[in-house]
Amino acid sequence: MLTVPDVNEPIKKITGNKRNGKPSLLGWLKLLLWIRDPRPHSTRVPLMGVRKEYHNSRLASQLAFMMIEHIRRVAVNRYGAKRAEIGWVLGDNQGMNTIAEAIGSKMNKDYWIFEKPL
**In whole numbers, what is the pLDDT of the chain averaged over residues?**
81
- At 29, the pLDDT band (50, 70, 90 cuts) reads confident
pLDDT at 78 over 70: yes
Helix axes 58-79, 94-102, angle to 10 degrees: 50
Q: What residues contact residue 95 under an 8 Å CB cut-off, 6+ apart?
A: 55, 56, 60, 61, 64
Sorted by where each begins, the domain ranges of the chain are 40-102
pLDDT at 3 over 80: yes
Q: Considering Cα of 76, then 77, then 78, then 80, what sign does the dihedral take?
A: positive
Percent of the chain predicted with pLDDT > 90: 0
How high is the pLDDT of residue 100? 83
Mean pLDDT of 65-80: 87
